[in-house]
């Protein structure tokens, strides 16, 4: 199951009733990870070091930039990343960010939702 490598695997047997009790602590841990909230300041300190390792492409002749990240929801955890060009951020960039979030903050056993939003440009008067 390549699409949910973040989920722990437990072998149990309902037929012979083996290791069933081992599932409950794992479920409790996953529930607490699913409800985890990371502060914006802490997220952005982490995000600054993470994007320093990442090379974003040019988009329409201009360098794509990721500005900041914030957690907008729990259960499941959802994050919004603000960028200057949404279309320049590819799936492999998002997977890289997700791996970094999991290494830094855990989120064991729960999917993460990551959205890219374009930062609104200020109009010149």
**Domain of residue 82, CATH code:** 3.30.300.20
pLDDT of the residue at 3: 72
Asked whether residue 75 is assigned to any structural domain, the reply reads yes
**pLDDT attached to residue 115:** 96
| Residues spanned by the domain of 100 | 2-118
* Closest C-alpha to 32, from 113, 121, 98, 109: 109
What's the pLDDT at 124? 54
Give the per-residue pLDDT at 125.
53
pLDDT at 54: 87
Low-confidence ranges of the chain (pLDDT < 50): none
* Residue 29 counted as domain residue: yes
State the pLDDT at residue 58.
Answer: 86
Q: Is residue 124 part of a domain?
A: no
- DSSP letters of 48-101? HHHHHT-PPPEETTEE--EEEEEEEETTTTEEEEEES-GGG--HHHHHHHHHHH
Answer yes or no: is 123 within a domain.
no
In a domain, 21, yes or no: yes
Is 35 within the bounds of a domain? yes
Tell me if 20 is assigned to some domain: yes
Find how far residue 89's CA is from the centre of its chain: 14
In a domain, 125, yes or no: no
| pLDDT score, position 83 | 93
Number of domains in the chain: 1
């Amino acid at each position: 199951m390549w699409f949910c490598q973040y989920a722990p695997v437990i072998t149990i047997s309902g037929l012979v009733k083996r290791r069933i009790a081992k599932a409950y602590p794992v479920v409790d841990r996953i529930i607490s990870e699913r409800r985890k909230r990371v502060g914006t300041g802490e997220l952005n300190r982490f995000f600054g070091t993470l994007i320093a390792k990442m090379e974003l492409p040019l988009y329409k002749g201009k360098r794509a930039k990721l500005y900041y990240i914030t957690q907008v929801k729990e259960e499941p955890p959802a994050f919004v990343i603000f960028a200057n060009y949404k279309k320049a951020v590819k799936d492999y960039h998002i997977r890289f960010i997700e791996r970094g979030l999991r290494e830094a903050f855990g989120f064991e056993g729960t999917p993460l939702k990551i959205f890219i939003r374009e930062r609104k440009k200020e109009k010149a008067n």
